[in-house]
Structure 1
């Protein structure tokens, strides 16, 4: 991945592997104490938003990566791109 990113003049950002990306609400930042792997969707007890496990984790990973390289608040494009 690093080699391809370098070839395309892109940046690969590594985040802590223990970052609780699935258990953290991407809307308000509330962190659940535990979240079983079989749970694919959960409601935040703080803000009541419904979080799909994978999409929520992706948003949190994007935010942590962006803040790591000081990009600030980075929003995902609304257009899906097939790779």
Structure 2
């Protein structure tokens, strides 16, 4: 898909790194064109659902606060017995 005019010309072999759009004549680098298309699609998705790209910080849920207890080693680890 051309990032300039949005015309879909179809898949191209991977060895084609630069191509010219048959509709608008734009000369496009394959990777840059793909990155522009992805960025435009992300912007459309965000504007469609109304979400902010980087929402503000939220406080942790009550059950997520504090430190978690460290797991105790099992008896097998203390004695050096390997578990198979």
Flag the structure with larger Rg. Answer: 2
Q: What stretches of structure 1 of length at least 5 have no aligned partner?
A: 1-23, 72-83
TM-score computed with the length of structure 2 as normaliser: 0.54
Q: Distance in 2 between matches of 1:66 and 1:34?
A: 24
What's the counterpart of residue 49 of structure 1?
26
Deviation at 1:34, TM superposition (A): 2.2
What's the counterpart of residue 58 of structure 1?
35
Structure number having the greater helix percentage: 2
Q: Helix, strand or coil: the match of 1:58? A: helix
What's the counterpart of residue 4 of structure 2?
27
- Greater RCO structure (CA 8 Å; 6+ sep): 1
Q: Helix, strand or coil: the match of 1:69? A: helix
User: Structure 1: which 4+ aligned runs deviate by more than 2 Å?
Assistant: none
Q: Distance in 1 between matches of 2:26 and 2:10?
A: 17
Q: What stretches of structure 2 of length at least 5 have no aligned partner?
A: 49-84
